[in-house]
Structure 1
Amino acid sequence: MGLVERDTLISNLSPPFDHLLATQFVDEFLSIERRFIQRDWEPAELDAGQFAEIAFRILYHLDSGNLNLNKEVKDCKRYLVNNDVPHSLNRKDVSHLSNVLGAIYEFRSDRGAVHISPTYSPNHMDSKYLIESVRWCMNEMLRIFWNGDREEVAKTIRELLQFDVPCIGVFGDIIIVQRTDLRPDEEILILLHYAGENGFSRRELGIHSLSSAPLVTNNIKKLSAPDKRQVIQLKNGNYRLTDLGSRRIRLELADKLLLSI
C-alpha cells in the first residue's frame, strides 16, 4: 500500500460526510496533488476552486443538517458565518476554514483561472499558494472529522504532506517504477517514499525493483550505512525512509518522481 489510499480516506470521512461529497472531496484533492507535482499549473488552479466548492458544501451540510449537492459557495459561506442561525460545528473551526476556503475560491476567480485570457499565464507561484492552502484545508478537515483512530489520522496527515509519486505504476498486485533512467539506489528511495511510514520488506523491494537481488541488497546496505542513514530498518523488518532520505527525495529526486521529464 503506497502512502494514503483513496478508499481509506473516503471510508474514514463518510460518515460524517455525505458519501458523494466525500468522494468528490478526496478525488479533487488527489487530482490537484497529482497535477501540481507534474507541473501542470493551470488545472491545479482550476481544481483548487472546485475543491473549495465541495468543502463549503460539506461544511454547510454538517453545520445546518441540510444536504444540498449544488448549493452555491456564497450561500454556504453566508450561512456558516451567520451568528443568528443555529450551528452544529465549532465556530472557530468553521471560521478558519471558511476564511481559507473563501480565499482559495476568490483568488482563483480574481486571477482569471476561470476565464483564461490571452494575457493570463498560470504560474508556479500562484499554484504553490493554492496547493498549500488546499493541503491545510484537507488536513484541518481530517483533524476535525476523521472517523477513526487519532494516531491513524496523524499518520495520514503526515503522509499527505509528502509528494505524490506519478512515476509509480500500480497494475493489480504489481507495483513498478515506470522510469528507465534511475540508478538502483534512486529506485529504492522512490519505492520507499511511495511505501510511506509502513515501508517495504526486503522481499517486496526485490519484487518491485527491476534490479538484480544482489544489487538491491547492496544498495539497501549503502543507504542504511552510517555515512548515509537515508534508510532504516523497522522492528518488523521493513525498511522505510529516514528524514535524511526524505530530504534527498525533496532536494535531489523531485524531478524523478515524475513519469517523464
Structure 2
Amino acid sequence: MNTKVNNSLLDLSLANVSKTFRQKLIDTYLDIKRSCVESDFEAAGLAAGKFCEVLIRLLQHEVTGSHTPFGKPVPNMADECRKIITASNNSVPESVKSIIPRALVFLYTMRNKRGIGHIGGDIDANRIDGATIARTADWILCELIRVFHKMPIEEAQDLIDGISVKSLPIVWEVAGKKRVLKDGLNAKQKALLLLYSETESAVLTEDLCSWIEYTPSMFAKRVLDDLHQKRLIEYDRESELVYLSPKGAKVVEDELL
C-alpha cells in the first residue's frame, strides 16, 4: 500500500469535508487498511475504533451543525447515531443522515463486541472479522467520496472502484506455514518480511528457511549472517532463533510494505 499516494488522492477526493475531520478520517482509514494487509487484526480493531470516533463527529457536524469536541468521549455511539437518524434536518443527503450512521453502528459494534484480537474460542475469527471491518470502512469512505467529492465524477468513480478492490495480503498463512506473496523480493527481504509478520518475538531458523524454501545448508551463511551483521536481525546460533531488530522493522515499513 502506497500510503503517501493514497493519502493525497483521498485528501483531494474529500476536499469538501471540513479540515477538522478530513485528515483524521483518512489517517485512521489507512491505518485500518495497513493493519489488515499486515494481518495485525488487533491494530485494525483499534484503528477502526478511532475511525468511528472521527466519523461520528463528522456526521454530527453535517446534520446538527455542532459536534462532540475531540478529546471528549462520545457518551454512547449507538445513541448518537440514533439522534442523527431521527434529526429533523432534511437538507443533508439521505446517505449521510440515514445509511452511513447505521453502517457506523455496525462497524463500532464489530470492533467492540467481537473483541478483535481476542484470545481463545474454538474458531479464530480475527481474519474474517478484520476483513469485514476493512470492507465496511471501504464502503463508508466510498460513500463519503460519492457525497463530498470535488473532482470529475469519472475520477471519483475510479477512486471508489480502486478502494473497493480487496487488499492482497503480503504474507499468507497456510497449513502451518507462511508464504510471501509479493513478487520480486530476494531471500533476505522475504526473511525480514516474514519476521515482521510474526506475532511472536522470534522465529526458529528452520521455520524461516522452510517458509522461504531456501537451501538449508546455505541459509545461515547467505541470508542470516549478512542481516545479522547489518543489525537488521539478531541471529542466535545457539538457540537457532531469529529476532527482527527495530532497524529491520523500519526497513520493512519503509521499503517492503
SS of residue matched to 1:179:
coil
The structure with more radius of gyration: 2
Q: Once the 2 structures are TM-superposed, how far is the Cα of residue 92 of structure 1 from its aligned partner?
A: 4.7
Task: Measure, in 1, the Cα distance between the counterparts of 2:146 and 2:125.
Answer: 31
Identity of aligned residues (%): 23
Name the aligned partner's letter for residue 23 of structure 1.
Answer: Q
TM alignment of 1:208-219, pairs within 5 A: none
Q: Once the 2 structures are TM-superposed, how far is the Cα of residue 12 of structure 1 from its aligned partner?
A: 3.4
Name the aligned partner's letter for residue 186 of structure 2.
Answer: T
Query: Which of 72, 96, 99 lines up with 1:96 in the alignment?
Result: 99
Q: Once the 2 structures are TM-superposed, how far is the Cα of residue 37 of structure 1 from its aligned partner?
A: 0.9
TM-score w.r.t. the length of structure 2 is 0.57
Post-superposition, which runs of at least 4 consecutive aligned residues in structure 1 deviate over 2 A? 2-5, 67-71, 73-76, 85-88, 90-94, 116-122, 161-167, 177-181
- Root-mean-square deviation (CA, aligned residues, Å) is 3.2
2:18 matches 1:14: no
TM alignment of 1:11-50, pairs within 5 A: 11-15=12-16, 17-50=17-50
Task: Measure, in 2, the Cα distance between the counterparts of 1:178 and 1:6.
Answer: 25
Which consecutive unaligned segments of at least 5 residues does structure 2 have? Answer: 171-182, 188-254
TM-score w.r.t. the length of structure 1 is 0.56
Change (3 A) 1:161 1:92: closer
TM alignment of 1:140-179, pairs within 5 A: 140-162=143-165, 179=185
Q: Once the 2 structures are TM-superposed, how far is the Cα of residue 180 of structure 1 from its aligned partner?
A: 2.3
TM alignment of 1:1-261, pairs within 5 A: 4-15=5-16, 17-70=17-70, 72=74, 73-74=77-78, 76-83=80-87, 85-113=88-116, 119=120, 123-162=126-165, 179-180=185-186, 259=256
Which consecutive unaligned segments of at least 5 residues does structure 1 have? Answer: 168-176, 182-257
Q: Report if aligned partners of 1:52, 1:101 keep a CA contact under 8 Å in 2.
A: yes
Task: Measure, in 1, the Cα distance between the counterparts of 2:133 and 2:118.
Answer: 20
Match of 2:247 in 1: none
Equivalent pairs counted in the alignment come to: 171
Report 1 or 2 for greater relative contact order, CA contacts < 8 Å, sequence distance ≥ 6.
1
Change (3 A) 1:162 1:118: closer
